[in-house]
Amino acid sequence: MRSLLELAENYERLADHNDAIVEEILTGIDRCKAGARDAQLLQASLLAEEARFFRERAAQLRAPILHGRHSVTIDTDAHA
């Protein structure tokens, strides 16, 4: 079973990977036609948002460890 720190590190790696893809998209955006450019910008925006989410989640997982707490409560939707 993975530790919370390992899981947080995985989230950070995913965020870094998304950032690299966004950078690649933005680097080549000028060579795209208008319709493709819009689609690429949308994809870059979605990846950037996902990267932000990954970093927030990583911070949430690290918070109990950094504050000396040893238990973590993860909210789940019991009605789903």
Percent of the chain having pLDDT more than 90? 65
Least reliable range by pLDDT among 11-15, 33-37, 65-69, 76-80 = 76-80
In the chain, which ranges are continuous DSSP H helix? 4-27, 34-66
Average pLDDT, the chain: 86
Closest C-alpha to 55, from 19, 12, 2, 18: 12
- pLDDT the model gives residue 65: 72
- Residue 31 is encoded by which pair of tokens? 């060579």
Q: What is the pTM of this model?
A: 0.75
